[in-house]
Amino acid sequence: MSDKSDSVLLVGSVPLESAEAVFRTCSRELGEHLECLPDGEVGDRTIWVVFQAYRVFHEHPDLVTLQRPQRGPQPWIPGDLTDVGRFAIKDGVEDVQFTDLKYASAALESYRTFRRLRDAGMIPAAVRFQVCLPTPLGGMCWFFQRPGELDRLIPSYQAAMIHEVEKILAQIPAQDLAIQWDVCWEVLELEGVFPWVPAGDPWQRYVDEVRALSAAIPEEVLLGYHFCYADLGHRHMKQPQDLGLSVRMANTAVAEAGRRVDWVHMPVPRDRSDDAYFMPLQDLSVGDTRVFIGLIHHTDGLAGTRKRLATAQRYLSHFGVATECGFGRREPDTLPELLRIHRETAALLRP
């Protein structure tokens, strides 16, 4: 990525009805601050990996649906972090294969819109198309809780995810593309949230995952990592104590990827503008990798954002800004104000 001090990262989801609306709106409001632009994870993908539940797992011939969401606003949309689809391997099935996770088809459809708008001058020429993908553990862990099943399923799912990347690379020029791995369940596993995780050491599993997923992406493609504590109803599954784990995971991603990592993103809760939260940034060791700190919050506006920004600047001199997670679950009428906060925060970082 460039060394612009006023860069903004859009983490992923945006509460608009179509990719075209996302591209037009975000480019108009933030185009000069963006290196890459996501499609907003619109439609089925709004609730992050939930669309895997009903588009992949529910329809899979070798899986059985144990539970569907009961408390959400629409079918398959959970009402809270416990109200999700649950699945299991059917009795007698030895090997489960995944052939289409549907990320590539969504990306290719959005890219056609992106290219049309960029060719028309509505997106800056240098901006890349950003594809956000869950890690294999993130794509599965919420939905499979029977002992031993994740150990059987994740290798196949990881191979399928890498195939999704290959399909994207086959049709989107590398110089037009940025790929972000959304690292959520690994964070929460390391924080001790889950009792049903796969066997083995979670840190080594994360290292192995970084190596495998980064190797699938050629150097010409921008590569980023978003470290996440989950966001449903604007609530984390666990509040981070500080940036310590995010810093450690960022350092490891850069050291173990086997190729350049262009950016890392780490979250800041709204109520944390204290030195203790940001102090681990002193241990960041990522070289030229761009750092985006998710310190923008709509609910306390520019004033609250400036407090978090001021503390972060005591521990890191150069970074870009973002929200702590995607904001696709936010009410659409809050979007203009939220984008304004992004723009004005970016202006504060100019030398």
Domain locations in the chain as residue ranges:
19-48+100-348
Q: What is the pLDDT of residues 122-170, one digit of tens each?
A: 999 999 999 999 999 999 988 998 989 999 999 999 999 999 999 999 9
* pLDDT value for 74: 79
The fold for domain 19-48+100-348 equals TIM Barrel (3.20.20)
pLDDT exceeds 90 at position 200 = no
- For 75-112, the pLDDT digits (tens) are 788 877 778 899 999 999 999 999 999 999 999 999 99
Please enumerate, as own/partner, the contacts of 247-252 that have beta carbons within 8 Å and a separation of 24 or more: 247/280, 247/281, 247/283, 247/284, 248/283, 249/183, 249/186, 249/187, 249/190, 249/206, 249/225, 250/225, 250/284, 250/286, 250/289, 250/291, 251/283, 251/284, 251/285, 251/286, 252/206, 252/207, 252/210
Task: Return mean pLDDT, the chain.
Answer: 92
* pLDDT tens digits, one per residue of 299-351: 999 999 999 999 999 999 999 999 999 987 888 999 999 999 999 999 998 76
Q: For residue 269, give both structure tokens.
A: 């809760």
